[in-house]
Amino acid sequence: MTVVAGGAAAARPRLIRAINEQVLLDHIRRSGPVSRSELATLTGLSKPTVSAALSSIERAGLVHATGQRTGSPGPAAILYEVRPEAGFVLGLDVGREYLRGGIADLAGTVRSRLSVRTKAGDAMARVQELADLATKLQGEAGIQASQLVQTVIGSPGVYDPRLDTLTLTGRLSGWDSPAVLTALRASFGATLMIENDVDAAALAERVHGHGRGVDSFAFVSVGTGIGMGLVLDGKLRHGSHGVAGEIAYLPFTEGSGSDARDARKRGSFDASASAAAVVRAARRAGLRGASSAEKVFAAAARGDAVAAAVVAEEALLVAKAVCSVIAVVDPDLIVLGGGIGQAPGFLEAVVGQLRRLAPVLPDVKASVLGTETVVAGCIAAGLDQAWEQLVGQISPT
């Protein structure tokens, strides 16, 4: 008993130091450049405690002195900020048609960004294309693979860490095979994280978009596929099984034929309201040239009555799904994303239906982030994870 107690007592100061270092790093990341006295004020820690923790993370190469603040009484204060070259984060977005990626340093500055059309005929070929894209990004950023401290892949589907499985991968044929996770880890190493692509987009909204400073919001993506990222109390929520936000499976009418097949594979709401469903509805209504949802929306904008009716029905379906989210979660904000969610005039149509359906009407906005949204979210998630790992590697003094 004495040995255990002594060990616990010895470990306690190390734990406290690690916590202090994490707190300081977090404030420097978000507030820097910042001085020691400002860090003491921000954290509530004593100046000696701040000095000790700051010295530790500076020796570890995570922060550096970047200048002095002058113009106030007393000696000039030394300012500290994150040392960007302490590591790099790779974010990748794996889609059915395109692969996108970016590399950022630890200060969050993007050093390289690329987008390529995939030619992969199967899942394993897609893994190789991701690895090739990562190599190109590293070359453009001027870094080696060993300098990457975190890799995050934004992927359709749900990753369950308890079972170590990737499921519900939608239109990426074969992507739910266990061999895919094995191949991804072989290509990207132990620091690989898998994040749902719509959840990653929600993270991008929290950092760069309408979600900045918003405590709770839902990012609803409607396009080739349908999904939702849910941020509550400032944190992305995955749920007990990783399926929080999988609104594609809301029980809308399954229909028959291809609609019913899509509903079984990808969820009833996806079968009713995705881009493919918009095209099917337009063709059934007799709209000529309805080869894509974009063309249907364009025809509606030109005043075509048939196309306008299809778009109105789509707005009603999306409003019903959003109304369900409002009734269950009551978020401060709804952000619409995806090709349909961001289509001109669609926001207003959805809001019009929500005024009739919803018990309350939160702010509803269309995302202003572009095609790099998932990559930006992956980088944001990677930076948070990277800093946690780097702080944990600091040797206690």
- Residue 32's pLDDT is 73
Q: How far apart are CA 275 and CA 224, in angstroms?
A: 5
Span 256-260, mean pLDDT?
Answer: 56
* DSSP conformation letters of 71-94: SSSSSPEEEEEE-GGG-EEEEEEE
Does residue 2 carry a pLDDT above 50?
no
Count Cβ atoms below 10 Å from residue 202 Cβ, excluding itself. 33
Q: How far apart are CA 371 and CA 164, in angstroms?
A: 29
Span 330-347, mean pLDDT?
Answer: 96
Per-residue pLDDT band at 283 (split at 50, 70, 90): very high
- Residue 8 CB partners (closer than 8 Å, separation 6+): none
Per-residue pLDDT band at 15 (split at 50, 70, 90): confident
Strands (E), the chain: 34-35, 63-69, 77-82, 88-94, 98-105, 110-117, 148-155, 158-160, 165-167, 192-196, 217-222, 226-232, 235-237, 333-337, 363-366
Percent of residues in the chain assigned helix, strand, coil, to nearest 5: 50, 20, 30
Looking at per-residue confidence, does 107 or 135 come out higher? Answer: 135
All structural domains of the chain: 2-82 (1.10.10.10), 86-200+374-391 (3.30.420.40), 211-368 (3.30.420.40)
Does residue 395 carry a pLDDT above 60?
no
- Residue 60's pLDDT is 85
pTM of the model: 0.87
Which H helix or E strand runs over 139?
Answer: helix 123-141
CA-wise closest residue to 225 among 339, 367, 348, 326: 339
Task: Classify burial at 78, counting beta carbons within 10 Å of its beta carbon; exposed 0-12, middle 13-18, buried 19 or more.
Answer: middle
Weakest-pLDDT range from 124-138, 242-256, 267-281 = 242-256
Assess contact for 198 and 229: CB atoms under 8 A.
yes
Per-residue pLDDT band at 21 (split at 50, 70, 90): confident
3-state SS, residue 392? helix
- Residue 9's pLDDT is 53
- Looking at every residue in the chain, the average pLDDT score rounds to 89
Assess contact for 91 and 106: CB atoms under 8 A.
no
Span 240-249, mean pLDDT?
Answer: 91
Does residue 3 carry a pLDDT above 80?
no
Q: Write the pLDDT tens digit of every residue in 171-190.
A: 888 999 999 999 999 999 98
Looking at per-residue confidence, does 241 or 374 come out higher? Answer: 374
- Residue 132's pLDDT is 97
- Residue 390's pLDDT is 75
Q: Write the pLDDT tens digit of every residue in 59-107.
A: 888 888 887 776 566 567 889 888 889 899 999 999 989 999 999 999 8
- Residue 264's pLDDT is 65
